[in-house]
Amino acid sequence: MADVILKDIRKTFGVLDVIKGVDLDIKSGEFVVFVGPSGCGKSTLLRMIAGLEDISSGVLEIGEQVMNDVDPSKRGIAMVFQSYALYPHMTVRENMGFALRFAGQDKAEIARRVDAAAKILELGPLMDRKPKALSGGQRQRVAIGRAIVREPDVFLFDEPLSNLDAELRVHMRVEIARLHKELNATIIYVTHDQVEAMTLADKIVVLRAGIVEQVGAPLDLYDDPANLFVAGFIGSPRMNVFAGRVLGASGAAALVSLDGFADKEIAVPLQGQVPPAGTPIRLGIRPEHFTDAGEDSLSITIDMFEHLGGETFAYGRSTSGETIVVTTRNGRSLSTGHVLKAGFDPTRALLFAENGKRIR
């Protein structure tokens, strides 16, 4: 396995800047997920690491070797794509060993590697089947096996689960997590699905418009987002955001008023200096951090709800018109048009400036 280091990596297509100065330090054995909305540059960045896209400027190192101009086949990487790209006329065994045969490996070594990968992925009974006789999940396991037999320094995954149905995606997430633990592999994984990112990653890289917005462990990004974009992108359902303004300070807390909380002062603890009175702010609160109605309750008219067994997501509107999502365990008592009274613990609230930056 190997470290992967990106130093001020940039990519331009003509006059269009796609990747705008990315710096990353990925340690050997880490599972790092690139996540962000469509068009944010995450797949382009992965392809630059793989050597499938030229690097316009900056330095890429894999295992302390500069790789900018190194042929993809010599970078010590193996890539698993969204499409399985299996040869339909070959068996599973032949597909998994194809790259090794093409590289001139001897038959005994090919057989050893293929059998070892098949054991890890539990493909033994399928080795003599052709792709048309496999399910989608089985085909993806074969594609992963084809990467494993190359014994790379780094595995690259480009949205490998997006073509699978929901049940198979959950199953394959578990398989990939188990694979990472068993191989202690360096894995860089691209997805637009923040649930995949949260469940698989040691470290998440959140991208927007070719810029890294934040890097950190999944729960660090969830609990301590650097800005409003990260706060809204990480977490499902999304964080609720209310407009308001600073009224003043009370010790180390900012006293704020919010639309929808009529004439109530809410004291939000801060580590730094409280912004001046009158400063416009945005306050974020996760759906699960709402509590039963209290003195500072918010009236929410329920438009719809989703029952998920142990909990229910209730979607509604405040008296001032904001869309709000609340997580509750009292789903049986809800109905469309029901007015839910909810408050929240101010210590769980996050403050953001008008430009989206976090106020800590």
Tens of pLDDT, residue by residue over 22-39, are: 999 999 999 999 999 999
Contact partners, residue 65, CB within 8 Å, separation at least 6: none
pLDDT of residue 155: 97
Quick check: 247 and 255 in contact, CB under 8 A?
Answer: yes
Q: What is the mean pLDDT of residues 313-320?
A: 89
pLDDT of residue 163: 83
* Tens digits of residue pLDDT in 135-176: 988 999 999 999 999 999 999 999 999 888 888 889 889 989
* Tokens found for residue 337: 């048009």
Cα–Cα distance, 5 to 23 (Å, whole number): 8
Which CATH superfamily is 240-359 part of?
Nucleic acid-binding proteins (2.40.50.140)
Is the pLDDT confidence value at 249 over 90? yes
pLDDT of residue 334: 81
Q: What is the mean pLDDT of residues 234-244?
A: 93
* Tens digits of residue pLDDT in 107-128: 999 999 999 999 999 999 999 9
pLDDT of residue 256: 96
CATH class, range 4-233? alpha beta
* The domains spanning 4-233 and 240-359 adopt the same CATH topology: no
Helix, strand or coil, per DSSP, at residue 61: strand
Which runs of consecutive H residues, i.e. helices, occur in the chain? 42-50, 92-102, 107-121, 136-148, 166-183, 194-200, 218-223, 228-233
Quick check: 146 and 99 in contact, CB under 8 A?
Answer: yes
pLDDT of residue 232: 94
Is the pLDDT confidence value at 292 over 80? no
pLDDT of residue 248: 96
Cα–Cα distance, 280 to 247 (Å, whole number): 10
Cα–Cα distance, 159 to 170 (Å, whole number): 14
Is the pLDDT confidence value at 129 over 90? yes
pLDDT of residue 262: 62
pLDDT of residue 322: 83
The average confidence (pLDDT) of the chain is 93
pLDDT of residue 338: 87
In sequence order, the β-bridge partners of residue 154 are: 77, 186
Confidence label for 348 from pLDDT (cuts 50, 70 and 90): very high
* Tens digits of residue pLDDT in 251-285: 999 999 987 676 678 999 999 999 999 999 999 99
Is the pLDDT confidence value at 296 over 80? no
pTM of the model: 0.92
pLDDT of residue 168: 86
Per mean pLDDT, which range of 53-57, 69-73, 76-80, 337-341 is the poorest? 337-341
Per mean pLDDT, which range of 87-96, 239-248, 325-334 is the poorest? 325-334
Residue-range domain boundaries for the chain: 4-233, 240-359
* Tokens found for residue 1: 């396995």
In sequence order, the β-bridge partners of residue 258 are: 244
Is the pLDDT confidence value at 295 over 90? no
329-358: b (≥16 Cβ within 10 Å) or e: eebeebeeeeebebbbebeebbbbeeeeeb
